[in-house]
C-alpha cells in the first residue's frame, strides 16, 4: 500500500519498526531498558572525561554488552572523551549516553575523570608569587 508520494505506508495493524530513510529505529529508552538515571549521575557532567580501563579490551569480548556499550569503550580506548563528545559521536541523546556510561562504570570497564572546578584552582596571585620566588633562587 502506498500514499500519494509513492512511499510505502504500513497496512493497518502492521508493526512499524523500520524508517525508510533512517533504517531500523531503536528508541533511546530501549537502549537504556527504560532507565533515565544511573548511580553515577553526579559524576557525569558534560565535560567529564571517560577513559577505558586497561583490562576493557578482553572484558568487552567476554561480556554481553550492547553495540553502543562496546562502541563507547572502543572510542575511549583510543583517547579520553567527554560525555558531550561521546553523545555527539554516537549521535545519541546525552541522557542515554550517561546511562550507558553508568553501566560501563558499574562493570569497571571505564572510569571518569572530572576537571578541577575553577573554584578549586589556586589563585593567580599565589602562582605569580611562587614563580617570582623560584626566579629569585
The pLDDT value given to residue 36:
64
Q: How many residues does the chain have?
A: 137
pLDDT of residue 5 exceeding 60, the answer is no
Asked if 95 and 36 count as a contact pair (C-beta separation under 8 A), the reply is: yes
pLDDT of residue 19 exceeding 70, the answer is: no
Q: Does 47 have pLDDT greater than 70?
A: yes
Average pLDDT over residues 67-84: 88
List, as one string, the DSSP characters of 6-62: S-B-PPTT----EETTTEE---HHHHTTT----TTGGG--TTPEEEE-TTHHHHHHH
What pLDDT, on the 0 to 100 scale, is given for residue 85?
92
Whole-number mean pLDDT of the chain?
75
Percent of the chain with pLDDT over 70: 62
Grid coordinates of 54 = 586497561
Query: CA–CA separation, 15 vs 1, rounded Å?
Result: 14
Is 7 or 131 the better-scoring residue by pLDDT?
A: 131
Q: Is the pLDDT of residue 94 over 70?
A: yes
Q: For residue 134, what is its C-alpha cell? A: 623560584
The conformation of residue 78, written as its DSSP 8-state character, comes to H
pTM above 0.75, yes or no: no
DSSP state of 122: P
**Where does residue 108 fall: left (phi above 0), alpha (psi -120 to 50 degrees), or beta otherwise?**
left
- Calpha distance 38→100 (Å, rounded): 9
Q: Which of 21-35, 40-54, 62-76 shows the lowest mean pLDDT across its residues?
A: 21-35
pLDDT tops 60 at residue 35: yes
Amino acid at each position: 500500500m502506498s500514499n500519494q508520494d509513492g512511499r510505502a505506508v504500513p497496512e493497518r495493524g502492521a508493526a512499524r519498526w523500520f524508517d525508510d530513510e533512517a533504517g531500523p529505529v531503536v528508541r533511546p529508552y530501549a537502549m537504556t531498558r527504560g532507565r533515565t538515571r544511573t548511580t553515577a549521575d553526579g559524576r557525569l557532567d558534560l565535560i567529564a572525561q571517560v577513559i577505558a580501563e586497561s583490562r576493557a579490551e578482553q572484558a568487552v569480548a567476554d561480556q554481553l554488552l550492547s553495540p553502543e556499550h562496546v562502541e563507547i569503550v572502543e572510542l575511549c580506548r583510543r583517547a579520553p572523551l567527554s560525555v558531550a563528545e561521546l553523545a555527539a559521536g554516537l549521535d545519541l541523546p546525552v541522557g542515554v549516553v550517561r546511562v550507558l556510561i553508568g553501566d560501563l562504570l558499574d562493570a569497571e570497564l571505564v572510569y571518569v575523570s572530572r576537571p578541577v572546578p575553577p573554584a578549586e584552582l589556586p589563585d593567580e596571585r599565589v602562582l605569580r608569587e611562587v614563580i617570582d620566588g623560584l626566579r629569585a633562587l
